[in-house]
Amino acid sequence: MVGQGDDFEIIDGLVEKRTPYDALFAAPEVRICSSAETEAAGWAGVVREIRGETKPSDSRVEVLGVPDEDYAINVWSAERREPAWFPPHLLEPAD
């Protein structure tokens, strides 16, 4: 009977899946890093909110920059009235 000295293991099965990008999603805003693609598109250095994530192979979104994996993060710009998709290595938490 549990509760009478029996050993048991607590399994954290209800927690959302963690990713290596949790720090990006925890930040109120992210800064787009400089690359040839972000410079050419005018996004380098821009600080904005993250609005989503996707697998480009499923959603067919255009990603600015060269992705290391099949994963992209959406950043929204109210001034441009457009979203942009970036590989995670081109984003950093903004201070």
Phi, psi of 40 (to 5 degrees): -60, -35
Answer for the pair 24, 91: CB distance below 8 angstroms, yes or no.
yes
Question: In sequence order, which residues have a C-beta less than 8 Å from that of residue 9 and are 6 or more positions away?
Answer: none
Q: Which residue has the tokens 């938490």?
A: 93
Dump pLDDT digits (tens) for 36-63. Answer: 999 999 999 999 999 999 999 999 999 9
Dump pLDDT digits (tens) for 25-38. Answer: 889 999 999 999 99
Answer for the pair 44, 38: CB distance below 8 angstroms, yes or no.
yes
Comparing CA positions, the residue from 49, 34, 56 lying closest to residue 79 is 49
Answer for the pair 92, 33: CB distance below 8 angstroms, yes or no.
yes
Give me the residue spans of the domains in the chain: 22-93
Average pLDDT of the chain to the nearest whole number: 84
For the four alpha carbons of 37, 42, 46 and 48, in that order, the dihedral sign comes to negative
| Global confidence as pTM | 0.76
Percent of the chain with pLDDT over 70: 81
